[in-house]
Chain A
Amino acid sequence: MAGFRFDLRDTPAGAPALRATLRAFLAEAGRDWPPIVPAYSWMGFDRAFSREVGKRGWIGMTWPATYGGGERTAMERYVVLEEMLAVGAPVGAHWIGDRQSGPLILRLGTEEQRREFLPRIVSGELAFAIGLSEPDSGSDLASLRTRAEKVPGGWRINGRKVWTTNAHRCDFMIALLRTGPAQDPKARHQGLSQFLVDCRLSGISIRPILDLVGEEGFNEITFDDVFVPDAMLVGTEGNGWEQATAELAFERAGPERYLSSLPLLTAALDDLRAEPAAPETVGRLLARAGTLRQMSLAVAGMLQDGKTPAREAALVKDAGNDYEQALPETLRALIDPARTPPQVREMLGLMTMVARSYSLRGGTREILRGIIARQLGLR
């Protein structure tokens, strides 16, 4: 079909053993997780958990040993990710560093940056946030206005970022900032650069924003004459747009784009046995889950081969978000509160609320479908 390619990929030969180790670890670690943990899944932030994950070599798995990486394959890493997500582990303290910031530093960072940051991401010590959205720049990201101005020895940042997940708990963020001349409407994508910004620098104030669940998930960050040294520029000055969009294939392709609500199905299943409509509904959900998993694996395989399947990733994210968002609502139709354990009822309620974010974060449904439509040749 018009420019989309999905070739089936197998998980690696050692997958069953790797899964067994992960499952034993997660069963132990997750013994006392309250429903809010799986409900928040990879937005959940738990430094102690991330350090344990780091100790076991499950962060930076594909990176070179020089920087503490495990030199494993991308498909092995995929197995680890899906095992974490299947139980809704609170991976947020290392998720962004492992998925995006670390690979960016590895690909485009200086040798100094690699040595400084990568080993500490691998150990689960260093938590990263993504500084993209701004109060007036959401889906239209290229309109962003937060500026980094050249000053002797570094850059001075002024402006605001918003919706930055967990920034108030993170150590660093990778911020996309305007370094070029004042915005020319014809060249909005030029003059942007990426910086490593220490979240504790003087001049930065981070204000947590309560989400509709009542959690402090995301933030508004104000930069008031914040100085960052030259050494914190990532990649090439002015090249930030290309650099940031190249990350999107990684950001959008992962199993976190369809598995966010699966723990609810697992938790609710046994109590659905008496419900006559359950077999058909559960069957449809599993048929889709298995298919999305194969689509996601196909994209992971392309990434492992060094390709940049940005369009396929957009398509899988869109389809996956629809799925994970509909799942709580679909199960709600089956669940009889009187026959359902309180833990499951609570998880259903939480996921009903959290699921709103699935089709917003990492590119809204409408933006993704616009990308897909362009690939289909619609203008």
Chain B
Amino acid sequence: MLRRILAALATLLGVAVFVFIMLRAIPGNQITAGLGTEAAALTPAQQQQLEAYYGLDQPLIAQFFSWLGNIFTGNLGFSARAQQSVLELTAQSLPVTIELAIFSIVLALLIGIPLGMLSASRPDSPRDAFGQVVGLAGLSIPAFLLATTLLAVLASSFGYNPNGEGYAYFVDNPWLNLQQMLLPSIVLGFGIAAPIMRTTRTAVLEIRSNDFIRTAKAKGVPPRRLQAKHVLGNALVPIVTMTGLQFGYLLGGAVVVEQIFSLPGIGRQVLLGIQQKEYALVQSTVLIIALSFVIVNLLTDVLYRMIDPRVRAA
């Protein structure tokens, strides 16, 4: 486990280097990003002063460590447009995305696991075909298409668009907040339900062919208990792994879905930063997202150590 944590730390350092390089690869620098075309009017002396101010005259390694040091002390940069620090902005947007992620994953598990078990209960039957078609649809319908269609149809035909009014935080208006989360969670949940469904189906089929299932049946374990405890219990490991992997899809999909449904989450923060060329905002937010992704992967590892005694022993 210690090795796993060390590896995660090494990965995070790599992530920081990568993000830093990406920042430097952008044509121009903080000066041109801040002043736009007016930067061309700077005299060489002004240029030099600004470079010294932003630390751009330092060697790259020194710039990297000063940037990293800033991050460790919580200084993630400042968004000139929002007149707020990136840390403050993130403190507002991260909970929105976490709420969205939790709802989406719960929905995905509620759709994916029963559907996978239904498919597996009689392979190559009409109900299996139904499950497979839903799964294929989940994999193939882009989130932005589903989201736009849902929004347009509900808004134009039923006049229902809870996301049209400003975003309501859960503590302020829980009922409106839940309504605003509903459609985005359905869109993201449907996308993740597909791989969960496929994994459940394969795992259940494989486990059912084991000897211990035959033994349990012969012992007279009631079918419902057999399904719940013996089959699903053993299928959980691949399902948990797959769910953890889908978190990446979720954070990426959040960019699209938050944009369409106007949720002020972390995905929207990145997109706004990109559109307004606020690179400090983009880099810090991308770093935070990567950090949370690495942490989720680590947690997934811990979780299946708890579920599967064989992994624990190894």
A and B associate: no
B residues lining the A interface (CB < 8 Å): none
Chain A residues close to B by CB (< 8 Å): none
